[in-house]
Amino acid sequence: MPATDTRPRAARVVAIRPCEDASGAASDEGGFILRLRPEGDPAWIASLEPGRFFMVRRQDGASPAIPRPFSLYRVAGDCLEFMVQSLGAGTQALAACREDTPLLLTGPAGSGWPEFSVGSEPWVFLAGGIGSAPFLMALERALPPHAAASPRAPGPWLIYGAASAARLYERRAFADTGAPVLCATDDGSHGFHGNVLELLALEQEAGRIPARVRLAACGPQPMLRAVAALAEKEQLPCWLSLETYMGCGVGICNGCAVPTRPGGALGDWPWAKCCVDGPVFDSTAIVV
């Protein structure tokens, strides 16, 4: 059961750097890694599960009043890391942080990924753009023990798509987990020229990935919609991590409503709250 203590916590920026591009050079596409240290006893950090998120904003007045949600990218000792794409006021304020900038964190929030128990059907993780952030810890958790020494261990595979090589952020960090990382770019500048589902189909046709897999996906909504449609057609177990707009992040404001499927696992109520019922949903429970 995920930790439920989501009280706001003060934190300080420890380091900030640009994301690496596919080749390992600093990307100039606005992605950055924010490392921060929450104040107080760090005991709770060790039990953080992959797929959970935090609401983050600066505490020096430079951020909008409403914090923004970010998936936990990595735990490094008593620090947390987030991989962020600079877009609007909230993320630009974070991009302008310096060492020691004061922050406010609310979380850990949300449900996180399901248990990656060893089963007959291997996992395929599908990441679109900055939707790769919740997969680093997921890969570490889902890899069978000693997987790096056992190349025939089935999965998990990470199929990582982005607009271009410059946006395949931190590709090397994902590969360093020992999991097979297959890349796709919209412009063909790195890896397969196309999208993640086309690459998955290619790998399955070639027999390198089995037909029966479990899917976990995070990325833009059109991608998630296509993943859910594939899962329904092929009757594959599938979990989606949604990047819905959020206000409070803790179930109060109703700002993150997600339509549910009639008769689905979330019951008859037509709406779920992404921040507390998700952000990870069984794809059969919601309408993407």
Ligand X SMILES: Cc1cc2nc3c(=O)[nH]c(=O)nc-3n(C[C@H](O)[C@H](O)[C@H](O)COP(=O)(O)OP(=O)(O)OC[C@H]3O[C@@H](n4cnc5c(N)ncnc54)[C@H](O)[C@@H]3O)c2cc1C
Sites of contact with ligand FES (CB under 6 A):
246-249, 251-256, 273-275
Residue among 138, 243, 248, 266 that touches ligand X (CB under 6 A): 243
**Among ligand FES, ligand X, none, what does residue 87 contact (CB within 5–8 Å per kind)?**
ligand X
Supply the minimum distance, in Å, between the C-beta of residue 245 and ligand FES: 8
Collapsing DSSP to helix, strand or coil, 83 comes out as: strand
CB neighbour list of residue 207: distance below 8 Å, 6 or more residues apart: none
Tokens of 202: 């290619």
CA–CA gap between residue 217 and residue 281 (Å, rounded): 10
E strand or H helix at 229, and its extent? helix 221-234
**Among ligand X, ligand FES, none, what does residue 130 contact (CB within 5–8 Å per kind)?**
ligand X
In the bound state with ligand FES, the residue whose beta carbon lies nearer, of 10 and 252, is: 252
**Among ligand X, ligand FES, none, what does residue 248 contact (CB within 5–8 Å per kind)?**
ligand FES
Supply the minimum distance, in Å, between the C-beta of residue 257 and ligand FES: 8
Distances in whole angstroms, Cα of residue 13 to Cα of each of 48, 238, 268: 19, 35, 43
Residue 9 contacts residue 38 (beta carbons within 8 Å): yes
Which region among 7-15, 37-45, 87-95, 193-201 touches ligand X (by CB under 6 A)? 87-95
Kindly state the number of chain residues that form the binding site for ligand X, as judged by CB under 6 A: 21
Residue among 34, 103, 130, 258 that touches ligand X (CB under 6 A): 130
The answer to whether 71 contacts ligand X (rule: CB under 6 A) is: yes
Q: Which of 110, 124, 51 is nearest to 246 (CA)?
A: 110
Residue among 58, 70, 142, 181 that touches ligand X (CB under 6 A): 70
The answer to whether 84 contacts ligand X (rule: CB under 6 A) is: yes
CB neighbour list of residue 213: distance below 8 Å, 6 or more residues apart: 121, 122, 123, 124, 155, 236
Terminal alpha carbon distance of the chain: 25
Residue among 22, 48, 83, 105 that touches ligand X (CB under 6 A): 83
